[in-house]
Structure formats: C-alpha cells, structure tokens
Amino acid sequence: MTFNETGLKPEILKAITEMGYENPTPIQEQTIPHLISSTQDLVALAQTGTGKTAAFGLPVLHNISMQIKEVQSLILCPTRELCLQISRDLEKYSAYLPGLKTISVYGGADITKQIRELKAGGQIVVGTPGRVHDLIRRKVLNVSAIRWMILDEADEMLTMGFKEELDAILATTPAEKQTLLFSATMPLGISEIKSKYLNNALELSVGKRNAGAENVEHHYYVVHAKDKYATLKRIADNYPDCYAIVFCRTRMETREVAEQFMADGYNADALHGDLSQAQRDQVMARFRSKQLQMLVATDVAARGLDVNELSHVINYSMPDDPEVYIHRSGRTGRAGKSGISVTIVHMKETGRLKQIEKLSRKKFERKMVPGGNEICEKQLFHLIDRVKSVEINEAQIGNYLPQILEKFEGMSNSDIVKHFVSLEFNQLLDYYKNARDLNIKAEVPRDSFSRNDRGCDRMSFTKLFINAGKKQNLNASGLIGLINEYSNRRNIEIGKIDIQRKFSFFEVDSNYEKDLIKALNNAVIEGHVINIGRVQSTEGQQPREGGSFRREGGYGGGFSGGRRESRREPAFSDRGDRPRRRRN
C-alpha cells in the first residue's frame, strides 16, 4: 500500500510527499484507512519508533474542520519533548491546510504564553497531563466539545504517575467522541482505562504484546558489581562507532557515571532531572546532532527523546520493571535498522533476566567482556578504516607534500605507518597492557539464583514496612531509588516488593536492615514524614487498609505535613511536568 491509497486529502498527501513519505508503516497501514472512515474507538499496540504520530495525526487532520476554531482534538503524551515532537509533525503534515492551528501545552514553560495561545483559538491541543489538567481547572482549556481524544504512550503516562490527571481529564470530555489509545505495552492500568473510558474499541497490534523489537539483539555481560564501570568502558571501546544511551537507575548514579565517563575522555554527557530545561535542551540537541556519542540518562529523563539511529542501548543498571526494559531496548533498531541492547549484570541479578526474557519473548545471549588485546585490535582496524576513507584535500595538501616527503626521507613505508599508528594508539595500548579479565569465570545457572523468580539469591532477607503506597505515587523503582539514596549504597539486595494503596512491604538484605531503618525513619520527603520498620507479623500476613500490625520502630500512621529537608532525588514516581499540588 502507498499513502495515495489510504484516502487522505490531496493537501495532506502533498505535505507528506515533500517530507519523503512513500509507504505507510504497518501501524499506519492498519489505522489510517480505518480512522478516516470510522468513529469507533481504537487501542493500538505498537513499539516506539513505528510511526504512531502519523497513524493518528493524519486521519485527524483529514477529518478536522478548519472553520471551527474551538478545540476539536486533545492529544496527551508523557513528556515535554514528545509533546513538541508531535506538534512539529502535525504542523508539517498540515502545511497545506490553511487555518489549521496546533497548540502545545506542557510544564516547565511560561503558562501565560500558553493561555494566550489557547484564547486565540486552535483546533488541536497537544499536551502533557499535568499542564492540561491545570489549564482545564483554570477554565482556560475547554475540551467539552472535542471529537478526538488521543492517548499517546499511555503506558508511559501511567508509569510516570499521571493516573489521577488522566482520570480527571477524561471525565471532562464528552461521551460522544472517538478515543484512540496508543501504547507500547499492555499493563493492567491500560486495560482499566480501556474498560472504563473506551466503547467497543477495535484492537490493533503491530508485533506481539509486550514484545521487544524484532531487529534488536539482546546481549548481557555477567561481572562483579565493582567491575560494572570498567565493563562499560570496555563495551564503549569495543564498539568505536557506537551511538548509545546508557541507562542508570537514579540521578545520583547518572551523575557519577557521566562525570567519570567524561573525565576518562569519552564523548558523553548526562541527562537527568536536576538539569534545568535550558541545560536539558542543550544536551539533547548535542546528542541528536551526534556531537555526543553516548548519553547517560535515567528512564524519566530520556522519555520523549526521539532518536532513530541509536546503535546501542546499554543498561548500566537493570530496570526494576521488565516492561521498562522493553521501552529501553525499543529505542534502538528503529526505522528498519538493527540495534543491540546490552545489559551489565552482577551475579545476584541474573535471575531477573529470566523475567525480562519471558515478558519480551527474546532470548538473551551472554557475551564475554572483551579483553585488552581484542579491544586494541578492534580500535586499530577502526583507525585504519578511518584513514583509508578520509577525504583528501589535494589542493591544500599538495602544497606541503614535498616538505612532508622530505621529512620522511630515509624511512620505509612500513616505518611511516608504524609511527602514525603509534602516535594515535600508544596511550590505548598502555592502558590495556596486562588488562585483567572482568568476566565471571563460569556461566551462572540463572535458575539457581531464583528466589521465587525474584532474581535474588538465597541470602537472609528481612521484611520491612513503609508508610507510603500507590496513593502517594510510590512505585517499585521509586522505592528502590529511595533506598539507594538514603543508604548511600547501590548494592543492597532487595527482594519482593509489594506496593499497597497507603503502605508498602519490601524485603531487604538483613545485613542492612538496621542501617536502612535508621537512615529512613522520620525522614521528611516532599512534605511527608517517612515511617519504616521491620514487620513482626507471621509470613504472608498483611494488614487491612487502616489496620495495624506489630512492627519495630513505632507505627506513625499516614504522612504528616512539613517541608522537604534536602535536595535529594524524589522518592516517588517521577512525574515529568506534573505541577505540585496547590501550586498555580
């Protein structure tokens, strides 16, 4: 099928032809003809980078009325970057649709400017849930007459903690509208939104549910925890042309890895939540233009970063949620290209690979961390290939050639080559001289590390309680980040995590139990007082909501007020641009 066969307006076809669009991607081929002619709700499951913006944007532009200046379509997405990207794409698609206006609204930007644009009128609003909800509450954004409600990367919006905003926004929209939900994975929360807000929805799927991209290889290296950074450097050296995102778990880890990486001479920078928007934009612009070769980032900071040519995704820290791995690995292998997803694991994490393999339906291949000789050989021939392919400026070099040849008089061609290679290569050869083997010698039987398939070995665990749960937007990754930061450690083994509505349970290496309780108990985070202690109840017993149980350290009930006492990383789910409560 070609775009000419989809039934789109000539004006739209002209615009996308100038953009180089020829044949629809699989998701576009399935959605565009259907949405042009039908008002049926839609759930589309597709990986990132498959052309979802055109899949919903082109049919909306085909059917929208340019004469009506009120908002006819509301598009929600998780991040500022994705919001701007969608808006730019829609503006390009509608280049020959006079009178069509798209308005972007997102946090971290001047709200008064966005209010002025909304008051001036436009047919399409693209926004992040926090800012859209705020503008609706201010009665500036009226969505009571929209015809299309679009949720792009819906699973990511739920992961970022926007469930309340999504519910509030959807409740203000008319019952008679077409709702389009696009998601890379299909967790329980997406199913709940579908059953609550969509009617008789058509389900489309490109690829398998919760499956990784087909053209991505999945590699892993097993090393001791202390050797993770050295392994990262060897991976970077072994792939001289790699263009990669390196994912870390926390902002602190991101800063540490990036700073050390740059200090060691690698072309890298960091992307995390402590950067200002201007700093963030500058880093992302450098990375998109390939001035940076490697970007070290947290999952939240990297959301909405649209780069189609990544050769590698490197998991410096394994994600706590297997679905997060699918999102990470889906950033490479786009647009028909191949890619490699690399995971660095230490021995106690190998069991978690089994969970990810099962969910993504991909087999992970264990690779050996390359040794010094292997890396030097790879770098040497990369240098030779660069020398052979370099473009020669005959006009300028010719002027100096006689003097150059005179300088090399008496040297053989072989000697000249040796001198040039040594000039570029001696430092690397010295660095990897007698480099030790970082590999753990024997293949670790992953099942032997399974502790009820939780990826932990058979160490002694203590079950702890914390007075925070889903109501406070705490999730598994936020809890682990909290533990990492307040303990000032990143090697504490964590077992089963059970997030309830107002409280949570988790298992922790018993060796760190007392230190963790001491560090976290009574800490004030985002205005809430943390209470934590050891559960004394029998195995498997859990309290009812509002109930009680025996616990060391005193049960302090829910959260109390107060100010955040430090500039530590937020313990709870990073929420993108979501404004804090009661902040206008």
DSSP string, 257-292: HHHHHHHTT-SEEEE-TTS-HHHHHHHHHHHHTTS-
Q: Report pLDDT for 528.
A: 78
- Check if CATH label 3.30.420.40 holds for domain 3-205: no
Q: What is the pLDDT of residues 433-449, one digit of tens each?
A: 888 889 886 444 443 33
Range name among 157-161, 235-239, 541-545 with the lowest pLDDT average: 541-545
Domain ranges of the chain: 3-205, 216-371, 373-431, 459-584
Is pLDDT of 452 > 50? no
Share of the chain above pLDDT 70, in %: 84
Q: Report pLDDT for 526.
A: 67
Residue 366: CB atoms within 10 A of its CB come to: 15
Residue 188: CB atoms within 10 A of its CB come to: 7
For 181, phi then psi, to 5°, come to -115, 120
Is pLDDT of 132 > 80? yes
**In terms of Cα–Cα distance, which of 335, 240, 246 is closest to 294?**
246
Q: Report pLDDT for 113.
A: 94
Q: What distance in Å separates the CA atoms of residue 401 and residue 546, rounded to the nearest whole number? A: 85
Q: What distance in Å separates the CA atoms of residue 76 and residue 56, rounded to the nearest whole number? A: 12
- Tell me if residue 225 falls in helix, strand or coil: helix
Task: Provide the pLDDT confidence category of residue 542 given band limits of 50, 70 and 90.
Answer: very low
The domains spanning 3-205 and 216-371 adopt the same CATH topology: yes
Q: Report pLDDT for 62.
A: 95
Is pLDDT of 557 > 60? no
Burial letters for 275-303: b for 16+ Cβ neighbours within 10 Å, e otherwise?
Answer: beeeebeebbeebeeeebbbbbbbbbbbb
Q: Which fold has domain 216-371?
A: Rossmann fold (3.40.50)
Q: What is the pLDDT of residues 223-272, one digit of tens each?
A: 988 899 999 999 999 998 899 999 998 888 898 999 999 998 899 999 88
Single pTM value for the model: 0.53
Range name among 8-22, 123-137, 199-213, 364-378 with the lowest pLDDT average: 199-213
Is pLDDT of 431 > 60? yes
Is pLDDT of 537 > 70? no
Q: Report pLDDT for 554.
A: 33
Q: What distance in Å separates the CA atoms of residue 525 and residue 541, rounded to the nearest whole number? A: 28
As given in the structure block, the two tokens for residue 62 are: 């085909």
Q: Report pLDDT for 491.
A: 62
Q: What is the pLDDT of residues 14-59, one digit of tens each?
A: 999 998 888 888 889 889 998 999 999 999 987 666 788 999 999 9
**In terms of Cα–Cα distance, which of 184, 505, 154, 466 is closest to 322?**
184
Where is mean pLDDT largest: 287-296, 425-434, 461-470?
287-296
Q: What distance in Å separates the CA atoms of residue 353 and residue 348, rounded to the nearest whole number? A: 11
- Check if CATH label 3.30.110.40 holds for domain 459-584: no
Q: What is the pLDDT of residues 303-350, one digit of tens each?
A: 667 677 889 999 998 887 777 788 788 888 876 678 999 999 887 777
Q: Considering all CA atoms of the chain, what is the largest pairwise distance in Å, rounded to the nearest integer?
A: 90
Q: Report pLDDT for 204.
A: 86
Cα angle 552, 557, 561 (rounded to 5 degrees) comes to 120
Chain position carrying tokens 């890396």: 375
Average pLDDT across the chain, whole number: 80
Q: Report pLDDT for 295.
A: 94
Q: Report pLDDT for 304.
A: 61
Q: What is the pLDDT of residues 477-507, one digit of tens each?
A: 778 878 877 776 656 778 788 888 888 888 8
Q: What distance in Å separates the CA atoms of residue 198 and residue 196, rounded to the nearest whole number? A: 6
